[in-house]
Amino acid sequence: MVDQVAIMVVDDSKVSRMMIKSIVSKMRPDWLILEAESGEKALELAEGKSIKYFSFEAYA
């Protein structure tokens, strides 16, 4: 049995999260897509889960 691939989309912009989620779900409909509006929320949601990919914005 293969575990479901999971991706966490982290962005404070709901529109950005929706766009990324739409693109990923069209390309990989079998993936589990988790969303968080902040790094803190992402850490809470990720606890106990095996997440293979993360999408987040980084500020320099």
- Is residue 46 domain-resident? yes
Answer whether residue 52 is part of any domain.
yes
Q: For 42-55, what is each residue's pLDDT tens digit?
A: 999 999 999 999 99
Residue 35 lies in a domain: yes
Q: Look up the pTM and report it.
A: 0.86
Q: What is the DSSP string of 1-60?
A: -PPPPEEEEE-S-HHHHHHHHHHHHHH-TTSEEEEESSHHHHHHHHTT----EEEE----
> Is residue 27 domain-resident?
yes
**1 in a domain, yes or no?**
no
pLDDT recorded at residue 19: 97
Q: How many domains does the chain have?
A: 1
Q: Which CATH number covers residue 23? A: 3.40.50.2300
User: Which domain does 43 fall in, by range?
Assistant: 6-56
Render each residue's pLDDT in the chain as its tens digit; 60 residues. 567 899 999 999 999 999 999 999 999 999 999 999 999 999 999 999 999 999 998 876
The answer to whether residue 13 is domain-embedded is: yes
